[in-house]
Amino acid sequence: MRLLTVAPRSAVMPIVNRLWFIAAHVLMFALLLTASSAHATSRVKDIAGFESVRDNQLVGYGLVVGLNKTGDDLKKIGATKQSLLGMLERLGINTRDDRLETDNVAAVIVTATLPPFARNGGRIDVSVSSLGNAKSLQGGTLMVTPLIAADGEVSAVAQGQLQVGGFTAQGAGATITRGVPTAGRIPNGALIEREIDFNLMKLKALKVALKNPDFTTARRISDAVNAFLGTLASVPLDAGTVQVRLPEAYKGTIVDLMTDIEQLRVEPDSPARVVIDENTGVIVIGDDVRISTVAIAQGNLTIKVTETPQVSQPAPFSETGETVVVPRTEITVDEDKDKRLAVVNAGVSLQELVNGLNSLGIGPRDMISILQAIKAAGAMQADLEVM
């Protein structure tokens, strides 16, 4: 007969705690490796697409009816009136001799995107935007509107109830507007009438088009494809295109090849670049931006004029004095004497560059001027793009 010996609780707990400690650290290390790998690499489908597999833009002109006195003014917008008369005539109603004074109709532009491989009878979303002086499209219904492609052919027909996110409320003394009440959407509001003729099975080779053309990224994609296929089937044609010949193993199954290529992971490369939007003061600095050793000083001359006029009054019951306003002006000049030169060493990282500029105590507007001056001095090893 064997006896089962149970260790004391005080002896078991340190072992359990140690196992939990080791497991937690192993899990944390695995998560860090996964996060680092996911951050460093991207799927091919996220940085590139396949040539000829593209969307098609559609546009049309139509009328929205059923508005609550928020439509176009027919006296000022002649196109809306003519369109309304034409639509009524097509429905067998002659109103040429009548006065149309309705304000429940609005002329609109209808846009949609026809996705690749869309089939007849499918539905797509449409966007509707006012063309005249309508105040709101809330509650409106889009009448039948043909949507044409770039070749002038009707590819879809739109109609339906609008969904408008914005609104306008007006009273006798105030008006409030939230969002854009003159634009809306119709989910699944267009019926596809014409397919784009394209057959993948006829292709002998695929062309991968990069969203951000770059020679290094193109070569990395080509190397990843060749490593996956085990043959030299891929070659970069230029900075934005990688050509992949169809291997024998994928004959008749080109979709499988496209799926496998999309899931390959590569590390995209990009040139060092600083993008500046002077209108909004937005600055975006790329990770590879480097600065040569420079000394930077920033200062502004600020003149502040403060007016505090005082009122001088005569003594009580005085018959000779008069009340006058005596000006009192205070002028303060700030020459930023406490600002000093700051040295930015060569080859600093993005974080060091940002920290150095922030240490000067400057705002985005002044930082834009400093970055432009650094580029003009030839100390910035990056492209400077001003939007």
Question: Domain boundary residue among 158, 192, 226?
Answer: 192
- Indicate whether 61 and 188 sit together in one domain: yes
pTM: predicted TM-score of the whole model, two decimal places = 0.65
Rounded CA gap, 104 and 63, in Å? 10
pLDDT at 31 (0 to 100): 46
Q: What are the start-end ranges of the E strands in 316-358?
A: 324-326, 329-334, 342-344
Report residue 205's pLDDT band, with 50, 70 and 90 as the boundaries.
confident
- Indicate whether 135 and 240 sit together in one domain: no
Tens digit of pLDDT for each residue in 12-25? 445 445 544 444 44
Q: Looking at residues 245-249, what average pLDDT do you find? A: 88
Quick check: 264 and 43 in contact, CB under 8 A? yes
Rounded CA gap, 53 and 47, in Å? 15
Q: Is residue 35 part of a domain?
A: no
pLDDT at 10 (0 to 100): 45
Using only the alpha carbons of the chain, give its radius of gyration.
35
pLDDT at 278 (0 to 100): 77
Q: Looking at residues 124-148, what average pLDDT do you find? A: 93
Number of domains in the chain: 3
Q: Looking at residues 43-47, what average pLDDT do you find? A: 92
- Indicate whether 207 and 178 sit together in one domain: no
Query: What 8-state DSSP symbol labels residue 2?
Result: P
Look at residues 370, 369, 386, 378 and name the one whose alpha carbon lies nearest to residue 346.
Answer: 378
Q: Looking at residues 258-271, what average pLDDT do you find? A: 91
Q: Is residue 215 part of a domain?
A: yes
Q: Is residue 33 part of a domain?
A: no
pLDDT at 264 (0 to 100): 94
Quick check: 174 and 148 in contact, CB under 8 A? no
- Indicate whether 178 and 86 sit together in one domain: yes
Q: Looking at residues 320-339, what average pLDDT do you find? A: 66
Q: Is residue 233 part of a domain?
A: yes
- Indicate whether 204 and 285 sit together in one domain: no
Helices H, strands E: what count in the chain?
7, 25
DSSP string, 121-133: T-EEEEEEEE-SS
- Indicate whether 135 and 239 sit together in one domain: no
Q: Is residue 298 part of a domain?
A: yes
Question: Domain boundary residue among 192, 217, 245?
Answer: 192
Q: Which of 138-147, 203-212, 292-301, 365-374 has the lowest mean pLDDT?
A: 292-301
- C-beta atoms surrounding 254 within 10 Å: 18
The sign of the torsion formed by the CA atoms of 312, 314, 315, 317 equals negative
Report residue 361's pLDDT band, with 50, 70 and 90 as the boundaries.
low
The more confident residue out of 51 and 34 is 51
Range of the domain at 121: 56-192
- Indicate whether 103 and 139 sit together in one domain: yes
- Indicate whether 60 and 162 sit together in one domain: yes
Q: Looking at residues 336-347, what average pLDDT do you find? A: 58
Rounded CA gap, 82 and 84, in Å? 5
> What CA–CA distances, in Å, run from 276 to 14, 182, 286, 292, 385?
58, 32, 11, 20, 6
**Mean pLDDT (the chain, rounded):** 80
- Indicate whether 72 and 184 sit together in one domain: yes
- C-beta atoms surrounding 203 within 10 Å: 16
Q: Is residue 150 part of a domain?
A: yes
Q: Is residue 4 part of a domain?
A: no
Rounded CA gap, 273 and 32, in Å? 28
Q: Which of 194-198, 291-295, 360-364 has the lowest mean pLDDT?
A: 360-364
Rounded CA gap, 96 and 99, in Å? 8
Q: Does the pLDDT of residue 97 top 60, yes or no? A: yes
Question: Domain boundary residue among 171, 192, 213?
Answer: 192
Q: Does the pLDDT of residue 257 top 70, yes or no? A: yes
- Indicate whether 214 and 248 sit together in one domain: yes
pLDDT at 191 (0 to 100): 95
pLDDT at 347 (0 to 100): 62
Report residue 338's pLDDT band, with 50, 70 and 90 as the boundaries.
low
- Indicate whether 301 and 371 sit together in one domain: yes
Quick check: 286 and 69 in contact, CB under 8 A? no
Q: Is residue 17 part of a domain?
A: no
Phi, psi of 350, deg, nearest 5: -60, -45
Q: What whole-number percentage of the chain has pLDDT above 70?
A: 77
